[in-house]
Amino acid sequence: MASGPTPAVPVKPTLPDDDCQDFASAMRDVRQLTPSQRVSVRPPAPDPQPRYSRADEAAVLAELLAGPDPDAFETGDTLSYQAEGVQDRVLRQLRRGGFRLDAELDLHGLNRDKARTAVALFFTDCRARDHRCVRIIHGKGHGSPNSGPVLKRELDGWLRKLRDVLAFCSARPQDGGSGAIYVLLRRAL
């Protein structure tokens, strides 16, 4: 009957007697420290806050409260915008629904002021969560008296003023069509 390899037996290293005596002589005056009864407690570090985050949030709200520039928005049924430097292929990809939607905001039933506040808070949250593409449902204005889609026009103006907005366009029919928009946001730094 053949047996496998024999397990290795650990070998304890041995020191020459001279080395042991030298070590003992060097350690002669060394005494073990008694444990201290003091406990060192460091206060917990404060939660990290992004620099200027409150100022950025205030700036977003101020931009939205300034109101839209009536000459800036489009008069057709669909909305479309791309910031300077954004490539046409990025806007085409956005129109086709080529970006994953990270969040959604529904403005149905809100008046102009409540919608403006909701949009400001929504974008503050999107920036904090580093969302890239979101959908805002503004409705088609069927409930608006004779003036057409109020929130749609307002939203067009508000978004054009925001630095974080790279592009936006009306959504595909299955995502709300002319009653909703996709918004492509700048990555958080």
Residue-wise pLDDT tens digits, 44-80: 887 776 666 677 777 777 776 665 554 444 445 788 9
Residue-wise pLDDT tens digits, 116-135: 999 989 988 988 899 999 99
Instruction: Note the pLDDT of residue 75.
Output: 47
- SS3 (DSSP) at 169: strand
Average pLDDT over residues 136-161: 79
* Residue partners of 167: CB distance under 8 A and separation at least 6: 81, 82, 83, 86, 90, 91, 94, 183, 184
Q: What domains sit in the chain, N to C, each tagged with a CATH number?
A: 53-70+78-185 (3.30.1370.110)
pTM, rounded to two decimals:
0.59
Does residue 98 contact residue 133 with C-beta atoms inside 8 Å? no
**What's the token pair of residue 125?**
């949250």
Burial of 130 (0-12, 13-18, 19+ CB in 10 A): exposed
Does residue 120 contact residue 107 with C-beta atoms inside 8 Å? no
- SS3 (DSSP) at 127: helix
